[in-house]
Amino acid sequence: MTVDMTYRQCGASDLKLSVLGLGCWAFGGGQYWGKQEQSDVNDVVHAAVDCGINYFDTAEAYNEGRSETALGIALQGLQRDRLFIGSKLTPANCYPGVLEAHCEASLRRLNTDYIDLYMLHWPIHPHSIRHFTNDANVIANPPAIGRTLEILAALRESGKIRHVGISNFSSRRMHEDIQSSLKIAANQLPYNLLCRAVEFDTLSACSEKGIGVITYMTLLQGILAGKYPTLAEVPEWQRRTRHFAAAGSPLCRHGEGGFEAETEKVVKEVKVIAADIGVTMSDLAIRWAVDNPAVSCALVGARNRTQLQANVGALGVAIDVPLIERLNALTDPLKQQMGNHLDLYESVENDRTL
């Protein structure tokens, strides 16, 4: 597949990432995404490299480490020094001695000597930590963010990691938690036509601090890919965001009423706009995301080569400023209603990013 891949500098770092990165959450298979064959993982990764993608994003929490393992297998035989691996550390594992051990475990699973971008998956505080552990002592006595940054700096000095990153850090968290001189290369944030909270003040805060932005949920787990004819047909695991009423989604934990009518209206109109200009809804959603100059890299997932190529094909779609403004106007009411809350899975009151 021939595609004109674009590469962008990630903040003030020397990371130059493909504008589309491959999200690897489904790799290794698990309860959330179902079974994933290693042969398909290998095929998707190799197809991504062929298309010019150079950034691959995983985490120790994804499928209990199996995502890292599957990615490590798929990358074997490829030119490692031309590819960038990003992985994330859960906030419950940031104590001295524990953090280093978890980094080593990720390195083993990835079968690599270094991780290019090692990120703190969520801010460190009790409410965030309880999503990763039931240990009452850990929840009551969270690791110190300052000490965590010192350990990450030491890992970078040792060559185990190349760059330090954060994920799901709001403007407030960046200003209050990141007090050290350690350079943060990237902040990974949710961003798509239906989730625009980062536009309130987080994108500008990243820019001010020279922090690159890697966005995830570009297609909101298939909803913006036109995968589901109606929101009622979205599977339970994908119905946990604040877009959906908690009462109708047993796996939801936010407890709120949701924004289903507003979301359905936007999805329908985006689909019509896409059809009018002769592209798919996923083409339009991906192109809209990467056309934001504040975005260093937008992650897309793919279960097979066909899906990967379709996502990359969106880069061949051209949308002009009037169309971007039309999409912004269409989705702004939902943005305002959902507010400046980056956490899609918790209530406004329990937002883990604040």
pLDDT in the model for residue 1: 54
Q: Does residue 131 register a pLDDT over 70?
A: yes
pLDDT in the model for residue 181: 87
- Please state the domain count of the chain: 1
pLDDT in the model for residue 167: 98
Contact 305, 47 (CB under 8 A): yes
300 in a structural domain? yes
Contact 286, 314 (CB under 8 A): yes
Structure-token pair, residue 215? 């966005």
pLDDT in the model for residue 208: 96
291 in a structural domain? yes
Q: What is the pTM of this model?
A: 0.97
pLDDT digits (tens, 9 = 90+) for 28-58: 999 888 999 999 999 999 999 999 999 999 9
pLDDT, mean over the chain: 96
pLDDT in the model for residue 182: 92
Q: Does residue 320 register a pLDDT over 80?
A: yes
pLDDT in the model for residue 248: 81
Q: For residue 180, what pLDDT band results from cuts at 50, 70 and 90?
A: confident
303 in a structural domain? yes
257 in a structural domain? no
Radius of gyration of the chain (CA): 19
pLDDT digits (tens, 9 = 90+) for 72-112: 999 999 999 999 999 999 999 999 999 999 999 999 999 99
**Dist CA 339 CA 208 (whole Å):** 22
pLDDT digits (tens, 9 = 90+) for 256-308: 999 999 999 999 999 999 999 999 999 999 999 999 999 999 999 999 999 99
Q: For residue 250, what pLDDT band results from cuts at 50, 70 and 90?
A: confident
Task: Provide mean pLDDT across the span 229-248.
Answer: 92
222 in a structural domain? yes
Structural domain of 291: 7-227+282-318
164 in a structural domain? yes
DSSP code string of 159-189: TSEEEEEEES--HHHHHHH--SSPPEEEEEE
255 in a structural domain? no
Task: Provide mean pLDDT across the span 159-166.
Answer: 98
Q: Does residue 3 register a pLDDT over 90?
A: no
Longest pairwise C-alpha distance within the chain: 57
251 in a structural domain? no
Q: Degrees (nearest 5) of the Cα angle 112, 40, 267?
A: 105
Q: What Cα–Cα distance (Å) separates residue 165 from each residue in 26, 98, 118?
A: 22, 18, 6
Q: Does residue 200 register a pLDDT over 80?
A: yes
Q: What Cα–Cα distance (Å) separates residue 110 from each residue in 32, 72, 226?
A: 21, 4, 33
**Dist CA 215 CA 195 (whole Å):** 11
Q: Does residue 2 register a pLDDT over 70?
A: no
* Residue 93, domain CATH: 3.20.20.100
